[in-house]
Amino acid sequence: MSKVVVLGAGISGHTAALYLKKYLGKQHEVIIVSPNSNYQWVPSNIWVGVGLMEPNEVKFKLAPVYKKQGIIFKQALATSVHPEGDSDISSPYVKISYVEEGKQGQEEIVEYDFMVNGTGPTLNFAGTPGLGPDLYTNSVCTYDHAAHSWKNLEAALTKMENGEHQTFLIGTGHPMATCQGAAFEYALNIAFEVDKRKLSHLADIIWISNEYELGDFGMGGAYIKRGGYITPTKVFTESVLAEYGIRWIKRAGVYKVEEGKAFYELLDGSYHEIEFDFAMLIPGFGGANIKAFDKAGEDITSKVFAPNGMMKVDADYTPKPYEEWKASDWPSIYQSSVYDFMYASGIAFAPPHSMSKPYTSPNGTKIFPTPPRTGMPSGVIGKVVAQNIVHRIKTGRKDHPHSASMTRQAAACIVSAGYGFTKGQAATMTVSPIVPDWEKYPEYGRDINATVGVIGLAGHWMKLFMHYMFLYKAKAKFGWSMIPE
């Protein structure tokens, strides 16, 4: 019997665990370790953040799902990995610390044959002084954060209804933050709610981003087909913001927040500040900060993980100029570069380089987005990692018949504003591949025939459909595996 441990129950880890158990059956153990008792469909946190959904509509309890599937669930935090075991334990193991009620602080050693690191991001609010829902800004990164944001947003809307002007600052809260898409969508939803109440004359909505040009989204931007024309995402994004009456500040690295005021540095080296009544700023992301030790107990964290805490995998991490990076340098099977029985998926793997061109201000501040790996790519990678582990267990071979390089994957992004079947619209964009491949597509970096952008109600319907479809899939209900990632 083989034992596979999965760290993290987000989109990627949860997907990996479900497929592992489906393909391995009762003959092998699948153990999932996650500090969270709930699964959350993160893309719908935006609707929670504007009061259009309740937290219970975007989450569900994990334990019943895992019990039904025969997956062992440990509500705990992984603190260290020991790929070589130690002087007393010959097998690889992970040390965990329980967080569930009645077991808080209890430690346990979980041995394994294969490990999947799907821990997702650490929300590094501390990386920007004053940032975060416990301080001076809001967040939609979790359903709890989103519910808290709605309370504050509702209060701001009430003030507007009483005739008081409000300034909304939405965007990135760190010079190298990613996940611009979520913040962008939230900005549009705020604009929609303000307009719905006929309060636009009392609102100033400002988009602040570390992107060199709007529409970069951490992917280096894209060229899209729209209405028979080829348009850069810069124009696409600016037109959407203008339509919603949102002004913008780009090439900005927020470095400090105080009550009602954000401080930022522009790429030209100048420093500025801006006052706000309500702010939602995405923090920088880091890895789960898991330590790694060899058989002798020596710290080998730097061998297994990158400095940001994300796991090194089958990618080329050789330092070289941005212009020299190739699509082939990106990982395809997400196998640890040190231990072949360990894998990483979703945000947990360390990208070899930025998709967006790196920029540094005259003051030495790096101001540009880091690569996004959320949503659709996370699910696809989780499935492929599971398939390869199953192949290795069942055949005893070490080859990998399945791959999921982001330089070959396509992805769809739906930025929806409003809610319901008759009210709202969405900007829908597909890119193929996610990571630009300038050797294969020298003109645009991507397949222009598969990279498309449209705006309208149909995309909004698709977003609603995806919400219910992917929650159905995540609950492992009948036929779940037939729904694509």
Q: What pLDDT, in 10s, does the model give residues 166-219?
A: 999 999 999 999 989 899 999 999 999 999 999 999 999 999 999 999 999 999
**Domains identified in the chain and CATH numbers:** 3-123+286-395 (3.50.50.100)
CA distance 457 to 460: 5
CA distance 40 to 140: 12
Q: What pLDDT, in 10s, does the model give residues 332-382?
A: 999 999 999 999 999 999 999 999 999 999 999 999 999 988 778 899 999
User: What confidence category does residue 475 fall into, taking pLDDT thresholds of 50, 70 and 90?
Assistant: very high
Residue with tokens 């709202």: 424
**What per-residue confidence (pLDDT) applies to 222?**
87
CA distance 15 to 476: 10
Q: What pLDDT, in 10s, does the model give residues 42-76?
A: 999 999 999 999 999 999 999 999 999 999 999 99
Please report how the helices 180-196 and 233-243 are oriented relative to each other, as an axis angle in degrees rounded to 10: 20
**What per-residue confidence (pLDDT) applies to 457?**
62
Pick from 135, 82, 46, 89: which is nearest to 413 by CA? Answer: 46
Whether 466 shows a pLDDT value over 90: the answer reads no
**What per-residue confidence (pLDDT) applies to 418?**
65
Pick from 181, 183, 180, 199: which is nearest to 245 by CA? Answer: 199
Whether 421 shows a pLDDT value over 60: the answer reads no
**Full-model pTM:** 0.94
User: What confidence category does residue 137 fall into, taking pLDDT thresholds of 50, 70 and 90?
Assistant: very high
The two tokens of residue 145 are 């954060």
SS3 389: helix
- Of 54-58, 146-150, 248-252, 416-420, where does mean pLDDT reach its minimum? 416-420
Alpha carbon separation from 130 to 66, 208, 283, 319, 462 (Å, rounded): 38, 17, 11, 33, 37
Question: Which ranges in 1-102 belong to alpha helices (H)?
Answer: 11-24, 45-49, 62-69
